[in-house]
Structure 1
Amino acid sequence: MLQELSIRNLAVIERIRVSYHRGFQVLTGETGAGKSIIIDAMGLVAGGRGSADMIRHGCDRAEVEAVFDLPESHPVWGALQRLGIQGDPQEALIIRRELQAQGKSAARINGQHVTLAMLREAGEHLVNIHGQHEHQSLLRTDRHLEWLDSFAGEAIQPLKSAYQDQYREYVSVNRELKELEDLTRQQMQMLDLYRYQLEEIAEARLKSGEDEALAEERRKLAHAEKLADAASGAYDLLHGAKGLSVLSKAISRLEEIVKVDPDRLSPLLEQLQSAFYNAEDVAHQLRDYRDDIEFNPERLSHIEQRLDLLFSLKRKYGESVEEILAYHARIQAETDRLENRDERLKELSESEERLRAELEAKAELLSGIRRDVSRQLARAVESELKDLQMERAIFEVRLESGTLSPTGSDLAEFLLSTNPGEPPKPLARIASGGEMSRIMLALKAIFSRIDQIPVLVFDEVDTGVSGRAAQAVAEKLSRLSCHCQVFAITHLPQVACMADYQYEIRKQVTEDGRTATSVKELAREDRVEELARMLGGVEVTDKTRHHAQEMLSLAEGQKNAC
């Protein structure tokens, strides 16, 4: 469950911290008070998109933090482990999301920085938000197969995964086959050019990094005489009368007098001796360096020719020896492909035929599972709809065969009949807004038991319903809260009174003239006042208060014990 939600500088919310409970909770308040901002905040901690526009005016960032209390068996712990995020089921799970005015976003799970994709993967196990826009997903037939397969669960998942792996292989084979079939005469004529280039590069016998090594060797050979003269001159100076011999004589003079004034002369003597040994070592190294200098005009000429060849190849094939070798590998692969086109075409055609046959067989198995599951889903939805005052509704899943696709060969569409004697028709053609709300609620009720998502959020799911239908929606939400924590934004007192907890969202003007939204958990007497406002509008009378009190008492008696 969601234990606590903290929001700072999000839209008109300056700073709030709200504790929540298990069961069914409603958020009520005047239109525009900021109820949807609470839902937006929940969406942010679940990995929803955020933008700088959501930050409170005049602030440089917005922050949302959610604390979840989850059992050890909950699937989110496995998801966190796969993502490399530390989590202890014995402790709370803390998610923090930050939006910055510069447009950047940061997220943390248990204090560890995560990407938005990682947050979204974890959030899918934690919060499911149903807003009014989600009605549209019921009208999109491309989503219906997704719903059906989700209901099938493990009955279809292994086979579907195997099918999808093979389908990706099939697509890859098909793409390569088409590319080979589409080779033009001009591409085939490139073979002669590729062969010439391969031969030219191969004859050069290139070695990685040789251009740099040759350039360095050329530099030394070209300046061999200058290097030798300088090294020899320096060596002669060190070994001459003004070199090491002068240092040696100076050391002898100091050694004669060091005992007279050891405190001041001993350090000077040590420095002079060190200078002598260092100079002697340098002299030996200069001699060796001079002796190693190579005078080889023939080698210099060979290097010049080799570098000219490399320069010519670089102008054609790349800026370095490594790029030339990489180009050689590419055109070698392309040459092989062109030279073996006919053989590869035959091989790919056979693979495509084999894969297609295997995919069709798997797709047929998938269709069989879906036909069975579609009947089960139809019965489950009709059962839920009966609880929602749609006793005579007939729900069907129509499956039709299509071409092979990433999900098989099936096309699924939800059909509904709300009037006796009328055949089921596509939802878009017959369902009203209130009926769509109840169909979606029915599906959510079914899938909440499958998904194990602990927090379900409904943003005005009661849109378009009233009277007994509204009461049925309220009762369904209450029963739904037996297996998960349910939040609902509502303007209907029939729904609000069935909640276990009620929060009033209120917008007010602060002392500094700014608008701020506050959230208050209502005690029973406050709930009566808020329900009276929802019943009576602007003017709350003793009669509306009495009616609200009666509704609350009746609701307490109607709630099912979980």
Structure 2
Amino acid sequence: MLSQLFINKIAVIDKASIDFERGFTVLTGETGAGKSIIIDAIHVLLGERASKDLIRTGEKMASVSAVFSDLPDDILSLAESFGVPVEDDASLLIYREIRTEGKSACKINGAPVTVAMLKEIGQLLVSIHGQHESYELLSEHLPIQYIDSFGELASLLTSYQNSYHKLKEIQKRLDSFNSDEGEKARQIDLLRYQIEEISSADIHVGEQDELITERNSIRNHEKISSSVEKTQNLLVGDEERNGILSDITMAAEEMESLSEWLADAEKASQKLREAQYLLEDADEIIREINVDFDTTSLDIIENRLDLLHKLHLKYGTDEEQILSYLITCEQKLHDIEFADEEREKLETEYEKEKEKAILLAKQLSGSRKKAAERFAKQVKEELQFLNMLGFEFLVEVSRVPLNNKGCDKVQFLVSANKGEPPKPMSKIASGGELSRIMLSIKTVLSGKDNIDTLIFDEIDTGISGEAANKVGEKLRHVSLNRQVICITHLAQMASFADNHLFIAKNEREGRTFTEVTILDENKRIDELARIIGGNEITELKRKMAKEMLDKVLDK
């Protein structure tokens, strides 16, 4: 539940701290005092769009924070998945900051979160219902969502949507086969040319590096031959002198002859023998070096490198990319040349998936019709309780072509007068009737989600008298299991509240300030009297207000 709300520098509210209780809480006050701004602040807190226009004039930033307590495990687990630390008290402190310059900041329990994360959690914490949402009943999208929620059809809808999306993907692939025949011919010619050009080159990975090395060797063959010969002479000697290898071998033998008397001589001989063996290995390697270069092959190598360079420019930066491009071309050519076979395969797959989607859509439609019948009956009972006697409410489920929601169009039909045929709500229902229909629907749906806090923003628009009493009674009934917060202009509705908050607008030093006060019993009587008859509070009005409160307590 929403336990505390703190608003800072938003519109006419400089600073306001509000403590909320369980049960039914009403907010009242004169028009323009800032009641709707409190709702706007809660919207911002729950991740809705934060307009910089909300920031109080002359300020550079504004903020809203709230404590939600006694939260269920699923909300706490979601918060933890976002990296939010969760304490044992099962509560969350949510903070959002808006700035005139720069991005806004969002935090939960001190941990930074994105607006998307905030919105995902916010949807589970609070459900806000206002006049704008009542008018959404007139849209063609909301009714089907309500029926699916009431019938608990999310799993069946997901199964259908998975099949439908797969069907659309197959259709997209089939459509790709229907391109212009001339374009297909051009693609085939291009692909065959590219395949032939790469294949005939017969390249292999690393070839360019090998050719560059070979080319450099040929270009420097004289220096290579000279260095190899000189090194061999130094190692093994020539006609004029012994080589290093011979000298080291003799030195090792001299030290070995002294090893009987000198330990260091034996160590020296071992090191010399190691040097001898290393030099012999080096000599063997040098003898294997090929110094017989075919200088006539240099033109062949240059031509080959030139070919590889052209292929690199067209098909990839190295041989591996070129060969990968070849495989891609071969696959594309295969797909085009064997398009008829692939099309037949896809058409078979399409018909199979279409049959599955239609079956799931029919199952979904059947479940919706059953749910719609139960839903209409329960909503009608709620409407009768709200003093809308003789008001007919029906849910029409009609067949439409397959779409993302199935094969149904769901529409709410109403008849305000007995004997008149039900028609779409947009042609009949008034603002006040829409408010009561929305309350009835939300009451019926209340058991289908775990949202603990319901906020109703001026749901009393267009109603009065006994209807207002019924709406107030219904809200009080809903608050037995959930926290209900309601902004109202009607004394009848306000009298049903467990808690009453008064929103007042004052002026200090030429600035407007909004303050929130918790009313005790006497102040509640005064506020109800003010709502009944204006700012002049008489004893008669106070008596009427007290009777309202007493009547609620007697129920």
Q: Which amino acid aligns with 2:173?
A: E
| Structure 2 gap segments, 5+ residues each | 228-285
Distance 1:51 1:300 in 2: 73
Q: How high is the sequence identity, in percent, across the aligned residues?
A: 41
Q: Which amino acid aligns with 2:158?
A: S
Distance 2:331 2:61 in 1: 53
Q: Could you say which residue in structure 1 is the equivalent of 2:187?
A: 190
Seen in structure 2, the aligned counterparts of structure 1 residues 542 and 341 have a Cα distance that, compared at 3 Å, is: same
- How big is the shift at 1:183? 4.4
Q: How does 1:494-505 map to 2 (within 5 A)?
A: 494-505=492-503
Aligned 8 A contact 2:71 2:91 in 1: no
Distance 2:542 2:205 in 1: 88
Seen in structure 2, the aligned counterparts of structure 1 residues 60 and 351 have a Cα distance that, compared at 3 Å, is: same
1:188-221 per-residue CA deviation (whole Å, 9 max, x = no partner) reads: 321121122133334556778987x689969987
Q: How does 1:50-61 map to 2 (within 5 A)?
A: 50-61=50-61
Q: Could you say which residue in structure 1 is the equivalent of 2:474?
A: 476
Q: How does 1:431-510 map to 2 (within 5 A)?
A: 431-510=429-508
Aligned 8 A contact 1:45 1:95 in 2: yes
1:220-246 per-residue CA deviation (whole Å, 9 max, x = no partner) reads: 879979x99xx9xxxxxxxxxxxxxxx
Q: Could you say which residue in structure 1 is the equivalent of 2:41?
A: 41
Distance 1:30 1:220 in 2: 93
Distance 1:136 1:394 in 2: 19
Q: Which amino acid aligns with 2:44?
A: L
Q: Could you say which residue in structure 1 is the equivalent of 2:247?
A: none
Distance 2:41 2:25 in 1: 16
1:67 equivalent to 2:40? Answer no
1:417 equivalent to 2:393? Answer no
Q: Could you say which residue in structure 1 is the equivalent of 2:249?
A: none
Seen in structure 2, the aligned counterparts of structure 1 residues 52 and 496 have a Cα distance that, compared at 3 Å, is: same
Distance 2:204 2:47 in 1: 50
Seen in structure 2, the aligned counterparts of structure 1 residues 554 and 204 have a Cα distance that, compared at 3 Å, is: farther
Q: Could you say which residue in structure 1 is the equivalent of 2:513?
A: 516
Q: Which amino acid aligns with 2:381?
A: S
| Structure 1 gap segments, 5+ residues each | 232-290
1:122 equivalent to 2:116? Answer no
1:429 equivalent to 2:427? Answer yes
Aligned counterpart in structure 2 of residue 528 of structure 1, from 525, 528, 531: 525
TM-score, normalised on structure 2?
0.80
- How big is the shift at 1:294? 11
Q: Could you say which residue in structure 2 is the equivalent of 1:370?
A: 368
Q: Which amino acid aligns with 1:7?
A: I
Seen in structure 2, the aligned counterparts of structure 1 residues 218 and 461 have a Cα distance that, compared at 3 Å, is: farther
Aligned 8 A contact 1:8 1:15 in 2: yes
Q: Could you say which residue in structure 1 is the equivalent of 2:173?
A: 176
Higher Cα radius of gyration: 2
Q: How does 1:94-113 map to 2 (within 5 A)?
A: 94-113=93-112
SS in 2 for 1:76: helix
Q: How does 1:237-386 map to 2 (within 5 A)?
A: 305=303, 308-317=306-315, 327-328=325-326, 330-386=328-384
- How big is the shift at 1:16? 2.1
Q: Which amino acid aligns with 2:474?
A: K
Q: How does 1:211-230 map to 2 (within 5 A)?
A: none
Q: Could you say which residue in structure 2 is the equivalent of 1:541?
A: 538
Distance 1:445 1:132 in 2: 16
Aligned 8 A contact 2:529 2:537 in 1: yes
Distance 1:185 1:529 in 2: 85
Distance 2:166 2:35 in 1: 48
TM-score, normalised on structure 1?
0.79
Distance 1:210 1:11 in 2: 72
Q: Could you say which residue in structure 1 is the equivalent of 2:16?
A: 16
1:167 equivalent to 2:167? Answer no
1:4-33 per-residue CA deviation (whole Å, 9 max, x = no partner) reads: 112222222222221110011111112122
Distance 1:94 1:205 in 2: 68
- How big is the shift at 1:346? 0.1
1:138 equivalent to 2:137? Answer yes
SS in 1 for 2:22: coil
Aligned 8 A contact 1:221 1:294 in 2: no
- How big is the shift at 1:427? 0.8
Aligned 8 A contact 1:152 1:370 in 2: yes
1:328-367 per-residue CA deviation (whole Å, 9 max, x = no partner) reads: 5554443232122101110111111111111111211112
Distance 1:339 1:542 in 2: 94
- How big is the shift at 1:2? 0.6
Distance 2:44 2:338 in 1: 54
Q: Could you say which residue in structure 1 is the equivalent of 2:248?
A: none
Seen in structure 2, the aligned counterparts of structure 1 residues 196 and 138 have a Cα distance that, compared at 3 Å, is: same
